Amino acid sequence: MIGTKITEARKKKNLSQAQLAQQLFISPQAVGKWERGESMPDIITLNHLAEILDVDLNYFSESMPSQTRELTPFEPLIKPTDELPAENQVKKLSWDMSDGNWLDADFSGLKNLQEKFSSSNMQHCLFIGSELSGLLLKGNNVDSCNFSNSDLSKSHIQNSNLLSNSFKDCSLKEAEFSKSYINGCDFSGADLTGLKLLKSNHADACNFSNSDISNSHMLNSSIANSIFKNCSLKEAEFSKTHIDSCDFSDTNFTGIVFKSGAFLSNAIVNAVWNRSSFIGTRIEELLFEGALEDCYFENCGFKKVTFQNTRLTNTFFKNNSLKRVSFVNCQSDRMTYEFLKGGKVDLTGITVFEV
């Protein structure tokens, strides 16, 4: 029972329920419910528990073997059809590797896995060039695995912990992530069109360089310290999402919408801004350069924002406080100039050009 094991490991570390809860940033009541068997922590929390209590992740579950299962001639993963009863030979053979502990395994080139790895612990495994479309990872711990050149389109990753994995040149079209922690993963060159980050995902220190993330939807998520160099974010939508300290150099933001979130301390050198919208967004410590055309800022909070050597065309500022915005050596059309004038901007750094 997981609750009993948590209790034993906690007591060995001389921690009270309250002290353990404090380190996990949860309530002592939640720890009590685990130990009484009234509820269970998810895989991400179990991973943190293992670190705090100085135990292996497998300690919490007898259903997880301590090492990868060896296949022998006497116990094949898939039995030949000639060993099956005649009445069963017409049935499709299946196998299931969920709830397992897979270490240093090579699954490269596999097909049609779908739900067969759910609730598994996977470390240092290879899935290179695999056909994994529709894969469901639910409650997984995936660490240092290589999914390069694989098809993960329309996959669903839920309540999972993804650490230092490679998804280089993958297809993750229309994939959906929810309530997952993604750290140090490489998505460079990946096809992420239609990607959905939903329901409290946290992505940190990831590399999305040269990837296509157009038509994606990010909701209630946090993205920090990540690289998006030379990406396409065309027609993407970020809603209630916090984006901090990321590098968006040479990224195409055409048609993007930022709504009710935060866009803080990001590098946006040589970015393309066309039909880009910020609505109810906190914008801080940013330097806009180059051309902004048909862009829209409404009900935004600005702090330490500078437009420098910027050409503003048909760009709309509505209900914004612009006192903390600086304009240096900028040009604007007449309509944009009037919007800025209404926002009580220091206009000395702006000249008007005729369209």
Tens of pLDDT, residue by residue over 266-318, are 999 999 999 999 999 999 999 999 999 999 999 999 999 999 999 999 999 88
Residue 70 has pLDDT above 70, yes or no: no
- Helix runs in the chain, H state only: 2-12, 17-24, 28-35, 43-53, 334-342
Q: Provide the pLDDT for residue 266.
A: 98
Structure tokens at 172: 């993750």
- Compare 346 and 70 and report the one with higher pLDDT: 346
Contact 129, 150 (CB under 8 A): yes
Q: Domain 90-352 is in which class?
A: mainly beta
Structure tokens at 41: 């922590």
In the chain, domain spans: 2-60, 90-352
Contact 121, 144 (CB under 8 A): no
Structure-token match 């369209």, residue found: 355
Select from 147, 84, 322 the least CA-distant residue to 157: 147
∠ CA 83-116-201, nearest 5°, is 175
- Compare 144 and 65 and report the one with higher pLDDT: 144
For the CA atoms of 9, 13, 17, 19, the dihedral, rounded to the nearest 10 degrees, stands at -140
From residue 245, give the alpha-carbon distance in Å to each of 59, 106, 265. 37, 35, 5
Q: Provide the pLDDT for residue 46.
A: 77
Distance, in Å, from the CA atom of 130 to the CA atom of 108, rounded to the nearest integer, reads 6
pLDDT digits (tens, 9 = 90+) for 82-116: 444 444 444 443 456 677 788 888 888 877 666 56
Indicate if the alpha-carbon torsion angle 32, 36, 40, 41 is positive or negative: positive
Distance, in Å, from the CA atom of 158 to the CA atom of 177, rounded to the nearest integer, reads 6
DSSP readout, 299-327?
Answer: S-EEEEEEEEEEEEES-EEES-B-TTEEE
What CATH code is assigned to 2-60? 1.10.260.40
Q: Under 8 Å CB-to-CB from 147, ≥6 apart: which residues?
A: 127, 128, 130, 132, 165, 166, 167, 170
Q: Under 8 Å CB-to-CB from 118, ≥6 apart: which residues?
A: 98, 99, 136, 137, 138, 139, 140
Q: What is the mean pLDDT of the chain?
A: 86
User: Matching CATH topology for 2-60 and 90-352?
Assistant: no
Contact 156, 175 (CB under 8 A): yes
Determine the residue type at 200.
S
Q: Provide the pLDDT for residue 74.
A: 33
Determine the residue type at 26.
I
Residue 347 has pLDDT above 50, yes or no: yes
Number of residues that this document lists for the chain: 355
Query: Which residues partner with 176 through β-bridges?
Result: 156, 196
Q: Provide the pLDDT for residue 299.
A: 93
